[in-house]
Structures are given as C-alpha cells and as structure tokens.
Amino acid sequence: MADDELKKNVTKTGTATIGLVCKDGLIMAADKRISLGDTHIISHKKADKVFKLIDNIVVTIAGNASDAQYVLKLARAELKLKEIRTKMQPTVKEAASLFASILYGHIRQFSTIIAMSHFLVGGKDNTGFKLFEATPDGCIFEHKNYVTSGAFGSMFIWTLLKEEWREDMTIAEGKELVIKVLKSAIEFDSSVGDPLNIVIIDKNGAGEIEEYAIPSEDTKQKSKK
C-alpha cells in the first residue's frame, strides 16, 4: 500500500485532551471527535477518549484510535491482574509506568503502520493526587500543574493554561478553565470537536464521566431573549 493510500485509511484521534491539577483534586477531559488520517475528515463525532481504569484512576487517549484502544485494554487487564495478585490497588505511577512500558515495546516492533498513541493518567492514591503523561515513545513524565495531548488545537490550550492556571485553583474553577481551553481548541482546529467528556477526581476518587455540550452562539442568543 502506498504511503498516501495508507494515511487515508488510518483512523486517528485529532483530539485535544487535558489533565489539570487543582488544590483539591484533578480534572481530566477530552473532546469526542475522531478524524481520518491527516485529512481532517471527521469519521466519528461521539468517540470516548476519557476512561476509568479503576475506581481512583482515569486515563485519556490520543493518537491512532486502534493503537490507543488496544493499549488501553491491555493495561486494564494487567492492572486488574496486579490488583488480584497483590490485593492492593495500583498507584497512579504504577498505572502510568505500565502504559509507558507497553508503548515502548510497541513502537520498537517492526510494522508497516507505526504504533502511535499518547496517554494522560491521573488519579488519587495513598501519596495524593498524581498526574502523569505516557508519550508515544514510551517515556513517562509527572506533571504538577497541567498537561495536554493531541492535535494542533493543543497549542492554544497551552497558551491559555499558562496564562490562567493557578496553584490555588479549586475544582470548580479548574472545570471552568478546562471548558474554556477546549472550546478554544475547537475554534481553531477542525479535528477537535464537542461534546466534551469531563471527569473530576477528588478525595473520594474518580467521579462519573460527564458529557458536556458547548452551547452554540444561537443557543446563547435565545437564552438572552
């Protein structure tokens, strides 16, 4: 298969995902749009990119959709086995390290299609609230403030986060900021689109994954009348 034809037949997430640290928890979020190859043709508008690994750990996905889904399934199974064997919940760092190890192995295996996926892993364990990034080449990084992954739209996310994130930000304030920056990404990048998935991780663990639809300008105008 020629390179151009291959690109057209690979479904991947255009994606803007975010993990945000607040003084009283974490927020993990992502858009739900999937594009086809590098064409920005939309292949799915309701794809889930935010998942609970276990009760206290959440992960977001970006990259080639098939690779991301496969790595997610594999990591879930490994973490469940570890929990059964040790009778202890894995820590956030252990979960992130597992994702990084899987990615490291996959990208070094020969394939006509390069495995390419990117994960943000956030949660609460006995060491507190933790946020990690597992990159496509198998690296792992801890973030004390925020981190994003995804397409061109993430550039705008970084700019806004740098200007508006505060160390003393509450979860409520953080959620408002997450919605604001993802809306900015949507406005500038056609491969990123609403609705959004947002999940809050607080002292009780990870809450339910919420779907949030960004109000259109028409809706805003009607609400003002």
Integer Cα distance of 157 and 147 in angstroms: 9
**Token couple for 7:** 């690109």
Helices (runs of H) and strands (runs of E) counted in the chain: 6, 14
Residues 6+ apart with CB under 8 A from 95: 53, 54, 57, 59, 75, 79, 121, 123, 132
C-alpha closest to that of 196 among 72, 69, 48, 54: 48
As a three-state string, the secondary structure of 87-103 is CCCCCHHHHHHHHHHHH
Give yes or no for a contact between 216 and 58, defined as CB atoms under 8 angstroms apart: no
Catalytic residue, candidates 11, 13, 15, 86: 15
**Token couple for 149:** 């992954």
Q: Is 15 a catalytic residue?
A: yes
How many CB atoms are closer than 10 A to CB 165? 17
Give yes or no for a contact between 161 and 146, defined as CB atoms under 8 angstroms apart: yes
Q: Tell the residue number behind the tokens 């990119």, with chain if given.
A: 49
C-alpha closest to that of 52 among 205, 211, 182: 205
Which residues belong to the active site? 15
